[in-house]
Structure 1
Amino acid sequence: MLSDLPIRKIIHVDMDAFYASVAQMDQPELKGKAIAVGGGGARGVIAAASYEARKFGVKSAMSGRLAIKLCPELIFVKTDFDRYKAISKQVRKIFYEYTDLVEPLSLDEAYLDVTQNKKGHPSASLLAQDIRQRIFEEVGLTASAGISINKFIAKIASDYNKPNGQRTVNPEEVLDFLEQLDIRKFYGVGKVTAEKMYQKGIFTGKDLKSKTLEYLEENFGKAGNFYYDVVRGIHRSEVKPNRIRKSLAAERTFSENLSSEIFMLEKLEHIAEEVAKRLKNSNVAGKTITLKIKYSDFTLQTRSKTLPYFVSDKSVILETAKDLLYQERMDNSVRLLGISLSNLNTEKVKVSQASDKAVSVQLKFAF
């Protein structure tokens, strides 16, 4: 039962069209225009699109070629990850003035547990409003927020009043909110799963809630238990301030397909160098090296090797990647290569969080 669960005050903050908004802030002449970050060139893929571009159907992960057909006036700008990281650091600094329980999901979004916060304020909604206002005044960008009793609902809610808005789902509203929700809006339900649910007559949260646990597990495997719980407002995952990195990678998509392994080796050297640089910056090393290959027909293949020791040196990474490249014959040309390291030497850090007892309060406290 929902009333038996610890009630937390969770805020999910999501920067609005982050990469594109940074470009428009840094280049005022781009404000109000349809822009795409990345995506330039014949094989480019868009990393982000401004809201002006989204009106034409332009979105992330779309090819630049298709985007320009949808929006002939589209302006392409280059990515600048050093700039994004610097701004993300500014935003997180603001978060930490409210709580130490901050779980970044990426450069542009994070969960905050403000059940017990540094401001001593009882209203998570007002705290979210204050955080967004400070981001706008101190950084120059807008953010949206979702506020509710757990991470799952807060993330869904943050998407409701974008851009530059927020949505609070109070404890007593949770079940009705979830029942009325289109199944496609459930965080964790992808396009393929949504189509499968549609075929089985599951269109809304209410439809999902009508199915038994046995039915969901039979049709959706292990995820069935997750769906059964979340539609009932049950999501026990706490905000984890120190998310342990599980892997580190770099990859490159080529402007022309590569059919010669000699050319591939040259590309792998640059990729290995980038991976080694990122390992050094993160002060980590790994044992498992994985080579990622995407062929010209878009089929994907991975080949892995686990070493008996931790490595971070470019030469070892490159030599292992070469061995993996020659491991078996390739029957098609290659459009993308990537190298990742996993099985890292990071240790799980236990962080003291507010106990369930401390947050097991009445449903009607201030949100």
Structure 2
Amino acid sequence: MNDEDEKRYRKIIHIDMDAFYASVEQRDFPEYKGKAIAVGGSPEGRGVIATASYEARQYGIHSAMSSKKAIQLCPFLIFVRPRFDAYKEASIHIREIFSRFTDLIQPLSLDEAYLDVTQDKLGIGSALEIAAKIKQLIKEELQLTASAGVSINKFVAKIASDINKPDGLTFIGPSKIESFMEKLHVEKFHGVGKVTAEKMKLRGLHTGADLKKLTEAELVHLFGKSGHFYYKIVRGLDDRKVESNRETKSVGAEDTFSHDLVYEEEMHLELEKIARIVETRINKNQLKARTITLKIKFSDFRTITRSKSFPRAIASYDFIFQAAKNLLATVDMQGQSVRLLGITTSNFGEDTLGNQHEGYQGRLFS
């Protein structure tokens, strides 16, 4: 199969949890079920809403709306303080469900992700069937609902997941993509914001069919570089792959000892071993770090960390070990023994401070 065939026959699923934060709150607190609730904001009218339950959305309440406006629309709205640990825990579980079917997972946030199931682990073959199974497992194991869009590329799959919310499942096959995009209103195009949508409408561009009448050059003239993007998406063309690798913020290693360490010399020997492991890991990923963090867990399970940042990015064992040893010297042990030591490198980038980047990591399906 050549590259063009591969693009045409990709099987892409976009999963989007339904009112995720609010749904977790309604699941965990039965008194909120069936009620208009907003996560974030305040009954005093301060702050903005992170998300709202579907009961609240019936009154026109949506994310990023001010609390003051939301109260005007729904005076009996219940405000709930966010519990991000609970959302993160649910997100991890959801991603584990995804991993039963594929390793090609690209999380976009805690509550949505792309999955490439062109070659699924269980040999199911049908992306539509896989999406249905994922939705079922999320409902059974987490008592939450998700909406799914299925198509041959990311752009169309994402739009499809939004069509029949909540608890929706929409498939847009290759033969239906162009006609579907032609009927779609411009404000429904992912990547077209409110300002751009209004600009389009002022020029008589209300649907995909209207955009399709313009040449690529005309779209670029009207909307800048984004014109290239609009020209492709209105034809349902999206070559982007599902990228499972994300930038990592840290690389490290740690060890829990069979007996607690009392003497500094013992700790130095263990730090040497750990530093060599860390060096291997960051060199394998072709990274350099400016920040070294030492982790110490004492016999009473109290844990502390000590960090130091350097003007030069490093990846050598000698530097990592010496930095960790120096950090250890700053700690007042107060006669306590040590059950665990760890070294973490972070703040990845080049040697100059102006060229740093985050590195790469796996993002949580949020």
TM over 0.5: yes
Is residue 51 of structure 2 the alignment partner of residue 51 of structure 1?
no
- Residue 344 in 1 paired to residue 357 in 2? yes
In the TM superposition, residue 119 of structure 1 has moved relative to its aligned partner by: 1.4
Counterpart residue number, 2:305: none
- State yes or no: 1:118 paired with 2:121: yes
1:8-27 alignment, distance < 5 Å: 8-27=10-29
Alignment deviations for residues 81-129 of structure 1 (CA, whole Å, 9 cap, x no partner): 1110000000000000000000000000000000110111121111100
Give the drift of 1:19. Answer: 0.2
Please report the RMSD computed on the Cα atoms of aligned residues, expressed in angstroms: 2.6
Q: Structure 1: how far apart are the matches of 2:178 and 2:210?
A: 13
Q: Secondary structure at the match of 1:237?
A: coil
Q: Which has the larger radius of gyration?
A: 2
SS of equivalent to 1:211: coil
- Which residue does the alignment assign to 1:361? none
Amino acid of the residue matched to residue 129 of structure 1? A
Q: Measure, in 2, the Cα distance between the counterparts of 1:27 and 1:348.
A: 33
What is the match of residue 350 of structure 2? none
Distance 2:360 2:185 in 1: 39
After superposing on structure 2, the runs of 4+ consecutive aligned residues of structure 1 that deviate more than 6 Å are: 283-287
Match of 2:201 in 1: 198
Letter in 2 for 1:20: A
Give the letter aligned to residue 65 of structure 2: M
Deviation at 1:342, TM superposition (A): 9.1
Matching of residue 133 in structure 1 with residue 146 in structure 2: no
1:37 to 39, 47, 55: 39
Are residue 7 (structure 1) and residue 9 (structure 2) matched? yes
Q: Secondary structure at the match of 1:219?
A: helix
Q: Per the alignment, do residues 4 and 147 of structure 1 end up closer, same or farther by CA in structure 2, a change over 3 Å counting?
A: closer
Which position in structure 1 is the counterpart of 2:220?
A: 217
Which residue of 2 is the match for residue 243 of structure 1? 246
Q: In structure 2, how many angstroms separate the alpha carbons of the residues matched to 1:5 and 1:46?
A: 39
Shift of 1:198: 0.5
CA contact (8 A) 2:37 2:77 kept: yes
Return closer, same or farther for 1:182/1:342 CA change in 2, 3 Å cut-off. Answer: farther
Can you give the 5+ residue segments of structure 1 that lack an aligned partner in the other structure?
247-282, 288-306, 312-340, 350-367
SS in structure 1 of the partner of residue 143 of structure 2 = coil
Q: Distance in 1 between matches of 2:355 and 2:55?
A: 39
3-state SS in 1 of match to 2:51? strand
Count the aligned residue pairs.
Answer: 265
Aligned to 1:304: none
Unpaired runs of 5+ residues, structure 2, are: 250-286, 292-309, 315-353
Write the letter of the residue equivalent to 1:130: K
CA distance in 1, matches of 2:219, 2:311: 41
Q: 1:48 & 1:114 partners in 2: Cα distance?
A: 30
Is 1:182 aligned with 2:185?
yes
**Displacement of 1:7 after TM fit?**
2.2
Residue identity matched to 1:39: G
Amino acid at match of 2:235: R
Deviation of 1:343 (Å): 3.2
1:147 to 139, 146, 150: 150
CA offset digits 1:119-170 (Å, max 9, x no partner): 1112111110010000000111000000001000000000001001111001
Identical pairs, percent: 56
Query: Normalising by structure 2, what TM-score?
Result: 0.68
